[in-house]
Amino acid sequence: MSRRQANPMRRFVDSGSFSLAGALHSKPRSSPILPIGLVLVGAILLIGYVYSGSGKFRGEAVSRIGGDYSCSVEVQRVIPFLKKAYGDSMHKVLHVGPDTCSVVNKLLKEEETEAWGVEPYDIEDAEATCKSLVHKGIVRVADIKFPLPYRPKSFSLVIVSDALDYLSPRYLNKTLPELTRVASDGLVVFTGYPGNQRAKVAELSKFGRPAKMRGSSWWVRFFLQNSLEENEGAIKKFEQAASKGSYHPACQVFHLKPYQ
């Protein structure tokens, strides 16, 4: 059956190549159209090759951006150092940022740590464990451009990762004080380094705008404008623990004091 279908196909290809060969041999000199045609075919093949080549190159660049890192993953990695830096202040943690379910799950495995999460983006394709955290009210899906649904100082420590990179200064002016408002002992901010690109093009609709990575001097100035002080004690302890653990940060980490 399949062989019968294949045979006419092959005959068609054979006869096609046969007639092309016939054309090449039958009128070698009389027709100037043939060499021009061959040159055209060659040019088209060459252009096609160049285009497919550059397309492949572009594809690689995109996937390298797509194979990005995430500061929410970084948060999970540095939990032991955060514990060294914050000690008892880790007893009631709020994490805010993409992939918060993973961070909350990891925090909940720590002894004497309660954890909650705010997921700033939709989690339609979330796993069952994440859906269950949302169902229990441990993780909330909330737009962090608006006030957080918590009372002042509801948490001992608030950790935010990635999310701030997607906000313009206008919104940061509201969101950062909001995050600080719900923290009694401190706020830890994880942001990307400038030059580290994030978010696949396909994800831009989810995040609303591309991430903007700001340098540390930009952030420090921004904190000062918003009357937020860096927590020197926590910075020192965190850095000591991190260097003992041979940790090389892939994200910028800022430790801020709570409001008085």
Ligand X SMILES: *[C@@H]1O[C@H](CO)[C@@H](O)[C@H](O)[C@H]1NC(C)=O
* Site residues, ligand X (CB under 6 A): 169-170, 173, 225
Indicate the residue among 157 and 160 with the shorter CB distance to ligand X: 160
In the complex, least distance from residue 220 CB atom to ligand X, rounded to whole angstroms = 14
Indicate the residue among 205 and 227 with the shorter CB distance to ligand X: 227
Three-state SS for the chain is CHHHHHHHHHHHHHHHHHHHHHHHHHCCCCCCHHHHHHHHHHHHHHHHHHHHHHHHHHHHHHHHHHCCCCHHHHHHHCHHHHHHHHHHHHCEEEEECCCHHHHHHHHHCCCCCEEEEEECCCCCCCCHHHHHHHHCCCEEECCCCCCCCCCCCCEEEEEEECHHHHCCHHHHHHHHHHHHHCEEEEEEEEECCCCCCCCCHHHHHHHCCCCCCCCHHHHHHHHHHCCCCECHHHHHHHHHHHHHCCCCCCCEEEEECCCC
Which residue's Cβ lies closest to ligand X? 173
Indicate the residue among 82 and 189 with the shorter CB distance to ligand X: 189
Indicate the residue among 15 and 168 with the shorter CB distance to ligand X: 168
Indicate the residue among 116 and 254 with the shorter CB distance to ligand X: 254
In the complex, least distance from residue 173 CB atom to ligand X, rounded to whole angstroms = 4
**Longest CA span, the chain:** 95
In the complex, least distance from residue 127 CB atom to ligand X, rounded to whole angstroms = 37
In the complex, least distance from residue 167 CB atom to ligand X, rounded to whole angstroms = 11
In the complex, least distance from residue 172 CB atom to ligand X, rounded to whole angstroms = 8
Strands 155-161 and 92-96: parallel
| Joined tokens for residue 249 | 């940060």
Indicate the residue among 22 and 169 with the shorter CB distance to ligand X: 169
Indicate the residue among 26 and 225 with the shorter CB distance to ligand X: 225
In the complex, least distance from residue 223 CB atom to ligand X, rounded to whole angstroms = 11
